[in-house]
Structure 1
Amino acid sequence: MAIASPYLQLLKDRITLTQIPFTDRDSRLILFRSDEQSLWVGLAEYEIDPEQYPAITRWSFTDGEGQACRCEYTTYPHEIRNQTPCGTFRITFVDAETLLVALPAGRSGIKLLTRMEKGQTDRLGGVLGRSSYSPLHLVYTTNTTLIQNCIVELDNEQREIELIFEAEEGAVLLLNITRTADFNRRIVKAEQAIEAAAQRWHDWFATVPEVAEHYRRQYYYAWWVMGANLIYPYAHPKREGMVPSKQGYVGIWHWDSYFHALALRHRDTQMAQEQFRIMLDYQLPNGLIPDIVHDEGILAHTTEIVEADITKPPLTAWAAWKVYEIDGDREFLKELYEPIVRFQNWWFSESDPDVTGLCAYLHPWSSGLDNNPLWDQGLPVETPDLSAYLCLQYDYLARIAQEIGYPEEALDWTQRAKELAERMIALRWDEQAGIFWASRHGQRIPVCTPFHLFPLITGRMPENIAARLVATLTNEKKFWGHHPVPTVAFDDPSFNPLSMWRGPVWLNVNYLLIDGLLRAGYPEQARELRWRTLELALAAEDFYEYYHPLTGQKPPRATHAFGWSAALFIDLVIAASAEQE
C-alpha cells in the first residue's frame, strides 16, 4: 500500500473490471477488462454507449518483442496492479482525465487500439484526435526511452499505438483522454501519483461514520460506489452531482438525488445539499423540477410513449428535512422552501386531469416506475403512491415553515395534508381488498402493487386502515416473501421477477416503507423489513439497480454499482448500528 489504509485493503479486488469498472471521483473514464490480455477504456456520458464509442478499444500489455502478455489484475480503489511476465504495470488516476501507468523496469511494451481520425508521434509520445463523432483527444507522454513509438493506421478506421520501452526505475506513461485541447503532459513521479490517489480515497472513507463489524466490508464498498459515481455534468460544471451509475445512467436523476443525499448527509452535508441545488437550478417557471439534469441540458418534456412534461415523485421536502436533521442548517430550509412550494403547486395545477383533488401521473417516467403494469391500460393514471407523496410533502412543508418562522403557513400545510388524506380514503380505499386502488378516469386498474399501500407512509391513516395495510404488506402470498418487497404482488398475474418494475425488489421502495412503518407506529415491522433488506444487500457482490425477489440475485438487465441502492444501504446500516450500540 502507498499508505497504511485499512479501507483500501478491505476493498481489495472489489472492483472486478468485468461488471464494475476502475474509475475515479469526477472522472468520465471507466476501465474494464476485455480478456486475459487486455483492458478497454470507455467514457461515461449521457445517452452514449461507451462500448460503441470507446476511448481505447483495446489496451494490451506486451513483452519487448511486442507480443501480448497474460495479465493478472489486482484492484484497489486507487490503483490497478497488473502482473505480467515482464513485470508489474500499475495504473492510477492523476486527475479526472489522466491515467498514469508506472512501467516495470526493463524492456516491455503497450499497444493501444483506438478509433481516431488522425495521429502524430513526437519526442514525448504522441497526440491523436477525432472530430467527426464523439470528439476526443488521446495524448500519451513518457519520461523513458522509447525503442518503438509508432501509430499504425488500420483498415477498420482505427489506429494502433505501438510502444516498446527500455524503462528505468521511475518510468511512467501518461494517458490524457480529453474532450478539450487543454492537454496534460506533465510527468509526475509514479509513487507520488499512486500515494496521492490512495490518500484521496482513504480520506473519503475515513470521514464516514463507523458501523458494526458485520456490515463493514459492504458498507465501505457502498461508499466507494458513492464516490465513484460523482461527476460534474458538462452543461452544469459548477455543481458536483451523483449519477445513478456510470453504466447507462450518466445524468443527475431527480429523485435519485434525494436518495443519494440521505447517505451523503452522514459524510458531507454541503455535498448532500448540492444534490438538491443541482435540480432546483433548473426548476421551470411553472414549478416543475426536471426529470434529469444531464451533459446536454435537462429532460423535462418528452414525446416518447405519450407526450408530456416529466418530473419525478414529490419527495423534496421529506428528503431536505432528513438532511436538516443532521446539519440543523435553517438557511438551507429557507433556500428550498419557495421552490418546493412551487413544485407542490405544479402537481395540483398541472397534473389533476379529472379534477378530483387527487393528482395523476401523465407519464410513466414521472412516477419513476417506468414499466410497472399500472400503465398497461394507458395514461393518465391516478395512483395511491403519488397522493401519499403529496400528502407527506404537505406535512414536511409544515415542518419547514414552522422551523423558518412561518407558523400560519405551517398550519395551512397541515390542514391541506389532513384534507388530502381524507380525500384518499373517501375515494380510493377498499376495506375488503385492504388496499387503495389506482384508477384511470375513475376506473380501477386491476393490478396489485406495493404502491397501493403507500398511504400508510403518511402516518395519517386511521388505526383500522393502517392495520389493514400492514396486514396486506406482511402477507407472504403478496409481498412478505423471502426477499420483500416485490414491485408487483407475488400472486398478481403481472408479476415478473426479472422485469424492472414488474416484480423485482428495489431498495428505495423498501426504504420508503421502512420509513413509513416507523411514522405510522409499526416499529417491529419496520425493523424486520430493514433487517431483511440489509441481508439482501449483504449477500450480493455488488449494489444492483434491482434484485430478483425470489433468489436475491441480479436480474440480467439490472445495472451494477447503483447509486441509491448503495446510498440507502448506508443509511439503513448506520441506523441499525446505532440501535445495536
Structure 2
Amino acid sequence: MTAAESVGRVGAQRRIETPDATTLAALAGEHLDLVRAPFTLPRSRVLVFREGDGVRVHTSEYERTLAECRVLDSLVVRDASGGPLAITRVLPHVIEFGGGVDLTFAGPGALTVGRVAAPEAMRIETSDEGLDTHAGARSSTGGSGSTGVTVEWTTPDGVLTRVELDDDTAAVRLDIGADRMVRHEASGTHLADLAATEAIWLDWFARCPVVRSDLQSMTAFCWWVLGANIVELPALGNARAVVPSKIGYVGLWQWDAYFIAVGLRHGDPALAREQLEIAFRFPSGDGQLPDVVHEHGVLATSDDLPPGDRENLRRAGSAVADPSAPVPLTKPPLAAWALAKVLDVEAADEWGRRQLATIRRSQDWWFAASDLDGDGLPEYGHPYSSGLDDSPIFDGPLPTTSPDLGAYLVLQDLELARFADCFGDADAAAHRLRAERTFGLLMELWDDELGLFAARAAGAEVVSDTVVGLMPLLTGSLPEAIVDRLVAALADERRFAAAWAVPTVALDDPDFSPERMWRGPVWVNTNALVVEGLRASGRIGLARDLAERTVALVMHGGGPHEYFNPLTGEKAATATTAFGWSAALFVDLAVELSSETTSVE
C-alpha cells in the first residue's frame, strides 16, 4: 500500500467512538509482541522480551545497553511432559501462557509467575546448589497435588533454577535487585498482584484520548508507550520522567521532554507539566538548560560525558572556539512553544509563571553565549545541541549557523511576548523586537538560486538540502514567494516528496541515505514541526495532509519507532522501537485530526 492509498484509507474512516479503558488496553495489547514492545510497568525498570520458547528479562539503566543489563537469559514454563507452554496472549498487565499460567508484575521490582487457581505448595530445586529451602517450598521428592507444570529460568552466569507449580494457583515471585540479582520465593499473592497490575494499567488507559476509530488502536498503543516509558528518578524525589525509551534512552532529554509533554497533555496534563518541570529544574548560572537530566545528575557540557567520549565530542576544527574548553550541550529552544501547548489544555497560571523565568534566561543564554561568531544570530556549538546529531550540515567545521535554530529562536521570542501580554510580567515589546532582528538575520540564509535556507559551517555556506531548511515556516512571517518555494520543495519528487515523507535529507542530495540517522529517514518530530510551520504559514490544507500522511506512516511501519525509511515506510534497521516522542506526537496529531473531523461533520 502506498502512502497516498494509506491516507485515503485513513481519511475515509472518520467515526469517533468512546471505548472504555479495558477496550483500549486490549487494543494496545494487539501491538505488544515482546520484541518491539517489551512487557513492563509504569515506574518499573524491568523489561521482559520474548526469547525462544519463553521470555528473557533485563533492567533499564542510564547509558547501559540491554546486553549489559541482563537479569534472566531465559524463563520458560513447561508442561508435565517437559514441553514449553506457548505464550498465547499479551496484555499490558499480563503475559498469558497456555495451560493457565500467567506472568505479571508484583510491584515495580518483581515478577510473579503462577497458575490462575489457589496455591498450596511448590517445590524448588537448583542445578548447582541442590534443594532450595525458601519458606513455602517443599522437598523435591515430596507431596501430592503436583500439576506437572514447572517454571525454569537461567541467569547470565548459567545457573538454572526450576520451580514446580503444585495446585491451581501456586506461584513463584522473582524479586530483581538493583544489582540485577534475582531472589525467588513461593508467593500466595499472585492473583492480587495480577489485579493490582491490571488496575495500574486501567487507570492509565482511562486517560487515553479518544480519537477517530481508524486511529484509535495505534493511539492506544502510543499511549501505552508513554505509560511504559515512565521511570522514577529517586534523586529528584521520585519524579516521574517519561523517557524516550527504556531501551537505551533512560533519561529526560530536554527536547524529548517538550515533544512528550505535547502528547501527554491530552490525557494527563499534570504529567505533561512534570516533564517540563524536570527539564527546567537545572539551568546553569548563565541560564543554559542541560541536554539531559538523568538518575545520576545532568549532562550540560562535554565534561559530563563519559571520559572516552570527551575528546571526540569537542569542537574539533572550529575556527572560532577553543577546542580545549568544555562544550555546552543543550537542545533547541522550543521550551516556550511546549509550555504554551501544555497550558492550552489546562490552565496552571502560577506554575506557568514560574517556568517562564527559566525559559527567558535560557533564551537570553542563546544570544549571550551561543552567538559564537558575534553576528547576532546564535549558532550550534556542537551537533548534540541541535538534536539532529548526524545531519550533513555538521560535516564541516563548527560552529554551525542553522536555519532551524534561527526559526526556533524567533518562535520562542514570539511565544514569550504572548506570555508577557497574558501575564503582564515581562517586556513583550523587547521579545518582539529581538524576534524581528533574528528574523532579519534568518532571512540572510535564504539562497534564492538553490531555493532553500542554507546552513553555514564556520561562515561558509553548506549546500546540503535538509529538513532544517523547512523550519523557517514556523515563523509564520516568510514572504509568500518563499513559502511557495518551500511548498514546491515538499511536492518535488526529487527532493522531499518521498513515498513516505518527509525525509530529513532531500532524495537527490548526495548525502541522502534512507537508513542512516538524520541523513534521510523520516522522524515524527520533524514532520510534526513542518505541519506546525505549514499551519503557521497559512497552508492549512497541506498541514492537514502531512499530518494524515504522518499518522499513516506510523501505522504502516507498525508503531512509533524512532525513525523510518522514507522509501519503504518501515522501521529503519537501527531505529529504537516504542519511542517516546514518536508516540506522543502521534497522539497529538491523532487528537488534532479527530477534532478537525468532528468540526467538519
TM-score (norm 1): 0.88
1:79 aligned residue: 94
Deviation at 1:184, TM superposition (A): 10
Indicate the SS of the match to 2:478: coil
Question: Equivalent residues in 2 for 1:88-167 (5 A)?
Answer: 88-103=100-115, 121-124=133-136, 157-165=157-165, 167=166
2:263 aligned residue: 263
The verdict on how the C-alpha distance between 1:424 and 1:111 changes in structure 2, with shifts beyond 3 A counting, is farther
The verdict on how the C-alpha distance between 1:4 and 1:338 changes in structure 2, with shifts beyond 3 A counting, is closer
If asked which structure has higher relative contact order (CA below 8 Å, sep 6+), I would say 2
Deviation at 1:429, TM superposition (A): 1.6
1:512 aligned residue: 529
Contact 1:62 1:110 in 2 (8 A): no
Q: Does 1:484 align with 2:501?
A: yes
1:133-159 residue CA offsets vs partner (Å, 9 max, x unmatched)? xxxxxxxxxxx99999999999x8443
Q: Does 1:421 align with 2:442?
A: no
Residue type matched to 2:177 in 1? T
Indicate the SS of the match to 2:573: coil
Tell me how far apart the structure 1 counterparts of residues 289 and 558 of structure 2 sit (CA, whole Å). Answer: 34
Indicate the SS of the match to 1:55: strand
Tell me how far apart the structure 2 counterparts of residues 321 and 362 of structure 1 sit (CA, whole Å). Answer: 27
2:8 aligned residue: none
Contact 2:502 2:522 in 1 (8 A): yes
Indicate the SS of the match to 1:539: helix
2:430 aligned residue: 412
Tell me how far apart the structure 1 counterparts of residues 84 and 223 of structure 2 sit (CA, whole Å). Answer: 34
1:178 aligned residue: 177
Indicate the SS of the match to 1:11: helix
Deviation at 1:246, TM superposition (A): 1.0
Indicate the SS of the match to 1:214: helix
Tell me how far apart the structure 2 counterparts of residues 111 and 384 of structure 1 sit (CA, whole Å). Answer: 64
Tell me how far apart the structure 2 counterparts of residues 152 and 73 of structure 1 sit (CA, whole Å). Answer: 19
1:274 aligned residue: 274
Deviation at 1:5, TM superposition (A): 1.9
Tell me how far apart the structure 2 counterparts of residues 323 and 152 of structure 1 sit (CA, whole Å). Answer: 45
1:96-140 residue CA offsets vs partner (Å, 9 max, x unmatched)? 1121212367999889999xx9x97432469xxxxxxxxxxxxxx
Tell me how far apart the structure 1 counterparts of residues 254 and 123 of structure 2 sit (CA, whole Å). Answer: 46
Tell me how far apart the structure 2 counterparts of residues 13 and 538 of structure 1 sit (CA, whole Å). Answer: 13
1:342 aligned residue: 361
Tell me how far apart the structure 2 counterparts of residues 558 and 294 of structure 1 sit (CA, whole Å). Answer: 22
Tell me how far apart the structure 1 counterparts of residues 60 and 127 of structure 2 sit (CA, whole Å). Answer: 19
Contact 1:457 1:515 in 2 (8 A): yes
1:83-108 residue CA offsets vs partner (Å, 9 max, x unmatched)? 1xxx2220111211121212367999
2:250 aligned residue: 250
Segments of structure 2 that go 5 or more residues without pairing to the other structure are 1-19, 139-144, 303-309, 315-325
Indicate the SS of the match to 1:309: coil
Residue type matched to 1:161 in 2? T
Indicate the SS of the match to 2:217: helix
1:390 aligned residue: 409
Q: Does 1:319 align with 2:338?
A: yes
The verdict on how the C-alpha distance between 1:285 and 1:73 changes in structure 2, with shifts beyond 3 A counting, is farther
2:7 aligned residue: none
Tell me how far apart the structure 2 counterparts of residues 44 and 509 of structure 1 sit (CA, whole Å). Answer: 27
The verdict on how the C-alpha distance between 1:420 and 1:42 changes in structure 2, with shifts beyond 3 A counting, is same
Count of aligned residue pairs for this structure pair: 551
Contact 1:235 1:294 in 2 (8 A): no
The verdict on how the C-alpha distance between 1:109 and 1:74 changes in structure 2, with shifts beyond 3 A counting, is farther
Percent identity over the alignment? Answer: 36
Tell me how far apart the structure 1 counterparts of residues 402 and 433 of structure 2 sit (CA, whole Å). Answer: 22
Deviation at 1:32, TM superposition (A): 0.8
The verdict on how the C-alpha distance between 1:279 and 1:439 changes in structure 2, with shifts beyond 3 A counting, is same
1:292 aligned residue: 292
Residue in structure 1 matching 2:352, options 330, 333, 348: 333
Residue type matched to 1:478 in 2? R
Deviation at 1:188, TM superposition (A): 5.2
The Cα RMSD (Å) is 3.0
Tell me how far apart the structure 2 counterparts of residues 570 and 147 of structure 1 sit (CA, whole Å). Answer: 46
Tell me how far apart the structure 2 counterparts of residues 272 and 555 of structure 1 sit (CA, whole Å). Answer: 28
1:494-545 residue CA offsets vs partner (Å, 9 max, x unmatched)? 0000001000000000100101111111111111111111111121222110
Q: Does 1:439 align with 2:459?
A: no
Indicate the SS of the match to 1:27: coil
Segments of structure 1 that go 5 or more residues without pairing to the other structure are 127-143
Contact 1:125 1:149 in 2 (8 A): no
> Higher mean Cα deviation, 203-212 or 307-316?
203-212
1:350-376 residue CA offsets vs partner (Å, 9 max, x unmatched)? 111111111111111110111111111
1:321-380 residue CA offsets vs partner (Å, 9 max, x unmatched)? 011111122112201111011111111111111111111111111101111111111321
Indicate the SS of the match to 2:235: coil
Q: Does 1:169 align with 2:168?
A: yes
> Higher mean Cα deviation, 168-177 or 570-579?
168-177
Residue type matched to 1:280 in 2? F
The verdict on how the C-alpha distance between 1:388 and 1:539 changes in structure 2, with shifts beyond 3 A counting, is same
Indicate the SS of the match to 1:567: helix
Contact 1:60 1:111 in 2 (8 A): no
Q: Does 1:305 align with 2:307?
A: no
Residue type matched to 1:253 in 2? W
Indicate the SS of the match to 1:511: helix
Indicate the SS of the match to 1:433: coil
The verdict on how the C-alpha distance between 1:148 and 1:477 changes in structure 2, with shifts beyond 3 A counting, is closer
